[in-house]
């Protein structure tokens, strides 16, 4: 059952949005509106995933890999799993921070459920953003509402990527310059402050920035949808700050998986490796990031003396945590399908 029909207030961005033309909505249509078969892309993604996984496993000693996985300290992995689940809940709260001001005045539990449902579809769709489409679709029942929901998902995704970039740049700079913990934290704090200030400035001047874009109905609609963020520029800065919490939690989760496998590297290494792996997984070349995750772990952990078998095992156990988080979303979808209860509605009228 779809959850949240979005009711927009008079003059709100949602009311100004209009359904997209039918020909614009179909991603699988050619120039003359004829449907293109989707199966070639599906086959290509499956082949790509298999090829990337084969590349990641090239040169792996299967006996040693089995021994590494057989020696997992499951207490550490359980800690990683709890962290991973908690991180997703915080990420859902970040999304709520961005979605509520534009009319989605829904219970926090709705955002948490929709977020986990997106994770469920991320297991099967290419890249780690495939589930974002599902989240936007499930948050509203009308085309204008879903377009507006997509804007909130995009803003949330950008906030997360910005936070990821801050952590990655800080960690890389600290590593290359040989900074100790104190100077590294100072650098990270300065970079964070600069990013937050820039975000507030950009969002606060959206109207002027949009004026530089050639005028069209599309740009007018986009500006209208982003108006609540312009009126409250602190919202985006707050989302970026929440994003830092999410990214740090994600790094700590993978670091716990490393400990579960007996990897003895500094925490700074994980703050370099994990964001870079996550960025690589955004490429639309694999289903659920399979193959990309394991291969990148092997490449990035090799300079720290981590064997290929152990690095691939890190990727596999990280995938397992993602599968568990996705199963939570699948259970939410199943509960919605079986529940005859009333739908949640936006509080804006």
CB 73 within 8 A of CB 259: yes
CB 132 within 8 A of CB 153: yes
Query: Which residue is it, tokens 């568990």?
Result: 324
Residues 268, 181: Cα–Cα separation, whole Å:
9
Residues 325, 123: Cα–Cα separation, whole Å:
10
pLDDT tens digits, one per residue of 142-166: 887 888 888 888 888 888 888 888 8
Per the domain annotation, does 55 fall within a domain?
Answer: yes
* Structure tokens belonging to residue 98: 């961005």
Task: Say if residue 28's pLDDT is above 70.
Answer: no
Please write down the HEC assignment for all residues of the chain. CCCCCCCCCCCCHHHHCCCCCHHHHCCCECCCCCECCCHHHHHHHHHHHHHHHHHHHCCCCHHHHHHHHHCCCHHHHHHHHHHHHHHHHHHHHHHHHHHHHHCCCCCHHHHHHHHHHHHHHHCCCECCCHHHHHHHHHHCCCHHHHHHHHHHHHHHHHHHHHHHHHHHHHHHHHHHHCCCHHHHHHHHHHHHHHHHHHHHHHHHCHHHHHHCCCCCHHHHHHHHHHHHHHHCCHHHHHHHHHHHHHHHHHHHHHHHHHHHCCCCCCHHHHHHHHHHHHHHCCCCCCECCCCHHHHHHHHHHHHHCCCHHHHHHHHHHHHHHHHHHHHHHHHHHHHHHHCCCCCCCCCCC
Phi, psi at residue 35, to the nearest 5°?
-70, 135
Task: Say if residue 1's pLDDT is above 60.
Answer: no
Per the domain annotation, does 242 fall within a domain?
Answer: yes
Per the domain annotation, does 187 fall within a domain?
Answer: yes
Phi, psi at residue 128, to the nearest 5°?
-95, 15
Mean pLDDT across the chain: 80
- Predicted TM-score (pTM) of the model is 0.78
Per the domain annotation, does 2 fall within a domain?
Answer: no
Counted domains in the chain: 1
More confident of the two residues 295 and 197: 295
Q: Average the pLDDT over each of 73-87, 228-242, 331-345 and give the range with the smallest value.
A: 331-345
More confident of the two residues 60 and 338: 60
Per the domain annotation, does 223 fall within a domain?
Answer: yes
| Structure confidence at residue 86 as a pLDDT band (50, 70, 90) | very high
**58: containing domain:** 42-338
Per the domain annotation, does 86 fall within a domain?
Answer: yes
Task: Say if residue 39's pLDDT is above 80.
Answer: no
**Average pLDDT in the 211-232 region?**
67
Helices then strands, counting H and E runs in the chain, come out as 15, 0
pLDDT tens digits, one per residue of 322-335: 999 999 999 999 99
Task: Say if residue 128's pLDDT is above 50.
Answer: yes
Per the domain annotation, does 152 fall within a domain?
Answer: yes
More confident of the two residues 250 and 183: 250
Residues 166, 189: Cα–Cα separation, whole Å:
9
**Angle in degrees, 0-180, between the axes of helices 234-260 and 74-99, rounded to the nearest 10:** 170
Q: From 4, 19, 12, select the one nearest 104 (Cα to Cα).
A: 4
CB 119 within 8 A of CB 131: yes
Per the domain annotation, does 102 fall within a domain?
Answer: yes
């Amino acid at each position: 059952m779809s959850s949240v029909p979005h009711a927009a207030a008079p003059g709100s961005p949602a009311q100004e949005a209009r359904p997209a033309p039918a020909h614009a909505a179909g991603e699988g249509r050619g120039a003359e509106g004829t449907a293109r078969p989707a199966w070639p892309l599906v086959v290509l993604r499956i082949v790509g995933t298999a090829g990337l996984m084969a590349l990641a496993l090239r040169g792996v000693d299967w006996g040693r890999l089995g021994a590494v996985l057989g020696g997992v300290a499951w207490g550490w992995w359980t800690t990683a799993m709890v962290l991973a689940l908690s991180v997703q809940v915080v990420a859902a709260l970040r999304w709520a921070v961005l979605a509520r001001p534009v009319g989605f005045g829904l219970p926090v539990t709705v955002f948490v459920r929709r977020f986990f449902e997106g994770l469920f579809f991320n297991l099967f769709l290419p890249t780690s953003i495939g589930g974002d489409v599902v989240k936007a679709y499930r948050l509203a029942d009308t085309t204008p509402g879903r377009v507006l929901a997509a804007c909130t998902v995009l803003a949330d995704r950008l906030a997360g990527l910005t936070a990821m970039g801050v952590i990655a740049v800080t960690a890389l700079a600290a590593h290359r310059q040989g900074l100790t913990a104190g100077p590294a934290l100072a650098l990270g704090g300065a970079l964070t402050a600069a990013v937050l200030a820039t975000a507030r400035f950009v969002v606060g001047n959206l109207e002027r920035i949009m004026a530089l874009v050639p005028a069209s109905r599309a740009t007018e609609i986009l500006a209208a949808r982003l108006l609540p963020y312009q009126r409250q520029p602190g919202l985006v800065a707050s989302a970026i700050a929440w994003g830092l919490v999410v990214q740090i939690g994600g790094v700590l989760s993978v670091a716990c998986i490393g400990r579960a496998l007996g990897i003895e590297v500094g925490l700074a290494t994980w703050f370099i490796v994990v964001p870079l792996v996550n960025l690589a997984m955004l490429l639309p070349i694999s289903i659920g990031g399979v193959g990309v995750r394991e291969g990148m772990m092997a490449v990035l952990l090799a300079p720290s003396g981590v064997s290929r078998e152990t690095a691939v095992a890190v990727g596999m156990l990280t995938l397992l945590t993602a599968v568990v988080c996705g199963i939570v979303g699948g259970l939410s979808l199943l509960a919605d399908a079986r529940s005859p209860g009333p739908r949640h509605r936006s509080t804006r009228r």
